Amino acid sequence: MGHTIWLMEGLSSQRDIILGIQDFFKNTNKEITVIASHRHNRNEILSLADIALIEPVEDELRLDFISTTVKQYGVQAVHTGRNCQWFEAHRQDIESLGVTLTTGATNTAMFTLADDKVEFAHAMKANGLPVVLSVRIESAEALRHQIDLNAHAEDNKKLLCVKPVTGIYGMGFWRFDDNASPMSAFTHPDNRKVHPEMYLLALEKQADFEPLVLMPYLPGPEYSVDMLVEKGTVIAAVARRKEGALQYLEQSGPAYELGKKCAQIMQADGLVNVQTRNNDLGEPVLLEINMRPSGGIGYTRHSGVNLPALFALRQLGIMDESQAKLLATESFSPAVVRSITDVIRYNPILDNLSASEGSA
């Protein structure tokens, strides 16, 4: 009997998840069909799947689309990396089709908590986990006040940084540097450094204020812990220690353990990611949890641990929990990786697009 898993639209990791699953199963005697779908013509992703589908843009059409696809192809497991709040709200309808649904969480409240970096920090601290001190900023005036307070705290003056309360990919993250030139944020934006006065001047001219989180800048290193979790139970995990352009793959240590504890408390469910950073004492503190696969989940395969494949094995009922945990530890070996820029040939025509999609 064959198995069919459907990877619906996600972020940049969708391609690496497909590759991870297919690379593992090509060396087995299991018949696995991988369906991939997206709202846009992301052929570099969709072309990798056995069957490609274009998702409807409108939310109100999504449930019928899922129902039709599940019945047409005999789908057993559905994974999504986007629109997760909608999927959780419709979990009962989707699972009534006879499939497992993975969104990254088990209820909408956990998505809401994970999306608010300040509330997340408070919740994790209440659960006894170390977190970075986070202050919610509701106005430009409030930010100026906090910066002034820090400037006059000569006995404990801190380097500060700021970012939106909600958001992904580190968008909007800036480090405040009194020695930065007025133009440095424009001439060297990748350094993510800005003179606080320049940032405040721009913020005060902004018509619509979006809440910010102000925190001390931590020396690091930063860790990114990629995990396969099932209703709060960590099945497999790999930590990536980031130092400059290199990432060190590890499966032990304080940051690794902290990431797992966070996922347990958040009752994560699926492929998720926790980020930590070391404080001045060299101890990791929590920054955030992403209730979705990280953009670097493909890096972890260089350690021998194939998280996407383990996810598929579990969701399709091919491997039990104890076997998956054993495989995740026995297959691991430390590694150092470096991300490089590459290109692939882009085919503007999908030859694996389903007949129904092609005629739509």
Q: Does position 203 have pLDDT exceeding 90, yes or no? A: yes
**Mind listing the pLDDT tens digit for each residue in 26-43?**
989 999 999 999 999 999
Q: Can you read off the two tokens belonging to residue 290?
A: 């992403």
Q: Which residues pair with 225 in a beta bridge?
A: 239, 274
What is the pLDDT confidence band of residue 207, given thresholds at 50, 70 and 90? confident
* Residues 275, 287 within the same domain: yes
Q: CB under 8 Å to 48, separation ≥6 — which residues? A: 15, 18, 19, 22, 34, 36
Number of domains in the chain: 3
State which of 216, 250, 267 marks the end of a domain: 216
Instruction: Write down the mean pLDDT value for the chain.
Output: 93
Burial of 238 (0-12, 13-18, 19+ CB in 10 A): buried
Cα 189 vs. chain centroid, distance in angstroms? 23
Q: Is there a single domain that holds both residue 246 and residue 320?
A: yes
Asked, for residue 128, whether it belongs to a domain, the answer is no
One domain, residues 316 and 229: yes
Q: Does residue 78 form part of some domain?
A: yes
Shared domain for 241 and 327, answered yes or no, is yes
H and E: helices and strands count for the chain: 14, 16
The whole-angstrom separation of Cα 106 and Cα 85 is 10
| Nearest alpha-carbon partner for 65 in 89, 46, 90 | 90
Same domain flag for 233 and 244: yes
Structure tokens at 78: 């559905």
Instruction: Inform me whether the pLDDT recorded for 180 exceeds 60.
Output: yes
Residues 6+ apart with CB under 8 A from 60: none
> By percentage, how much of the chain surpasses pLDDT 90?
88
Residue 152, in any domain of the structure: yes
Range(s) of the domain holding residue 88: 3-102+343-358
238 and 204 in a common domain: no
Q: Count the Cβ atoms, other than its own, within 10 Å of residue 107.
A: 13
The pLDDT of residue 2 is 87
| Average pLDDT, integer, range 211-233 | 96
pLDDT, tens digit (0-9, with 9 covering 90-100), for 245-292: 999 999 999 999 999 999 999 999 999 999 999 999 999 999 999 999
CATH of the domain at 261: 3.30.470.20
Q: Would residue 124 count as lying in a domain?
A: no
Confidence of residue 358 (pLDDT cuts 50, 70, 90): very low
Q: Which domain-ending residue is among 191, 216, 241?
A: 216
Helix-, strand-, coil-residue percentages of the chain, each rounded to 5: 35, 25, 40
Is the pLDDT score of 6 beyond 90?
yes
CATH code: domain of residue 38: 3.40.50.20
Copy the structure tokens of residue 94: 């989707």
pLDDT at 360: 40
Instruction: Quick: pLDDT tens for 119-153.
Output: 999 999 999 999 999 999 999 999 999 999 888 77
Q: Where residue 144 sits, what CATH number does that domain have?
A: 3.30.1490
**Do 30 and 95 lie in a common domain?**
yes
CA distance 221 to 192: 16
| 127 within a domain of the structure (yes/no) | no
**Boundary residue ending a domain (158, 181, 216):** 216
Q: Are residues 194 and 283 in the same domain?
A: no
| pLDDT reported for residue 169 | 62
Do 227 and 332 have their domain in common? yes
- Can you tell me the mean pLDDT for 159-177? 86
End-to-end CA distance of the chain: 30
Same domain, 59 and 8: yes
Whether residue 231 contacts residue 271, with contact meaning beta carbons closer than 8 Å, is answered with no
* Whether the Cβ atoms of residue 255 and residue 129 lie closer than 8 Å to each other: no
